[in-house]
Structure 1
């Protein structure tokens, strides 16, 4: 292995590795059990190198959360852009993006962070702020009680899957849930 003086500096690549290994260790040990030294060791960088990118454990956890949230929001936006029906557009996109997580690569990372948010007020608040912002932005199209019910049902399906209760939702269940988002 080349020494730090001989290796080409690639800060973006190092940051990416730190985020990936940090997320994996969050899954294995929870946010509370995450150690900066363990992240540095598994990513193959010095603790000083990690601290250059993330000066605190909270900064690392926030960056992991931000990355997952940006990915989720991007998927929601993509689904919204493809949906020609205005009424319930955000809710349909939220439901589909949430249920897609169950079969996606990010489900384990999301699971660890969302379960940690129960005991980590800062993560819980960040999620609440994001969702509140989305609901305010989409108030004209997504404030009906049936839409709120559908979003909560999607959250419940996700939580049940996270806790190992039942199989992923069937196509019929998804369609029934999405049916709540259409004007009757």
Structure 2
């Protein structure tokens, strides 16, 4: 029997995840402009109506993709926090290491989503809420101007990476990362 939409066992969670995965891949490969509803539906092997069952419009799909990326980024930060020795600058070190690890991979979904954060009010608000919540949670170890400067420098390095040419190599990344991490260990 041929596996067609009519005789396929319905698995809404699997279909939804396939749509999200395809939308993320299209955004990574071609930018957010390539994330059309038809392109995502076709890539996932579902009808456009099937896509509409999960996402009523492109904005809802992009929002869900961004939410998933934020959850993934949050997990990466938590993994770095677990590996850290603790103390002053713990969160900032995890944040910097995660940003630089994603730069080294050169395939982070954040490359495609950075411009969305800058332009889309929902994404911008989600980002600000996330970072503010993290800073409140880690206020005992990560308050202070020096650590804020380190996080801002890491953000700047990330943005320079995203806006740089595709064939650019970040030969100085190791030295910059080392210096930023060193700055997180200084209390004053």
Same fold (TM over 0.5): yes
Q: Post-superposition shift, 1:157?
A: 1.0
User: 1:37 aligns to what?
Assistant: 38
User: 2:18 aligns to what?
Assistant: 17
> Structure 1: any 5+ residue segments left out of the alignment?
none
CA distance in structure 1 between the aligned counterparts of 2:58 and 2:16, rounded to whole angstroms: 14
Q: Post-superposition shift, 1:89?
A: 0.3
CA distance in structure 2 between the aligned counterparts of 1:157 and 1:9, rounded to whole angstroms: 45
CA distance in structure 2 between the aligned counterparts of 1:179 and 1:81, rounded to whole angstroms: 19
User: 1:145 aligns to what?
Assistant: 145
Moved runs in structure 1, 4+ residues, more than 6 A?
none
CA distance in structure 2 between the aligned counterparts of 1:134 and 1:32, rounded to whole angstroms: 31
CA distance in structure 2 between the aligned counterparts of 1:22 and 1:158, rounded to whole angstroms: 23
| Cα contact 1:111–1:162 (8 A) shared by 2 | yes
Aligned length: 183
Q: Post-superposition shift, 1:143?
A: 1.1
CA distance in structure 2 between the aligned counterparts of 1:170 and 1:88, rounded to whole angstroms: 20
Q: Post-superposition shift, 1:23?
A: 1.4
The reply to whether residue 49 of structure 1 matches residue 50 of structure 2 is: yes
Normalising by structure 2, we get a TM-score of: 0.88
Normalising by structure 1, we get a TM-score of: 0.90
User: 1:102 aligns to what?
Assistant: 103
Q: 1:172 to 1:105 in 2, by over 3 A?
A: closer
Per-residue deviation, residues 107-150 of structure 1 (Å, max 9, x unmatched) = 2x211211122221111111111111111111121111111111
Q: Post-superposition shift, 1:106?
A: 4.6
CA distance in structure 1 between the aligned counterparts of 2:87 and 2:142, rounded to whole angstroms: 9
CA distance in structure 1 between the aligned counterparts of 2:12 and 2:93, rounded to whole angstroms: 38
User: 2:157 aligns to what?
Assistant: 157
Which structure has greater helix proportion?
A: 2
User: 2:182 aligns to what?
Assistant: 179
CA distance in structure 1 between the aligned counterparts of 2:50 and 2:56, rounded to whole angstroms: 10
> Structure 2: any 5+ residue segments left out of the alignment?
none
Larger deviation, residues 167-176 vs 146-155: 167-176
| Cα contact 2:93–2:181 (8 A) shared by 1 | yes
CA distance in structure 2 between the aligned counterparts of 1:85 and 1:40, rounded to whole angstroms: 45
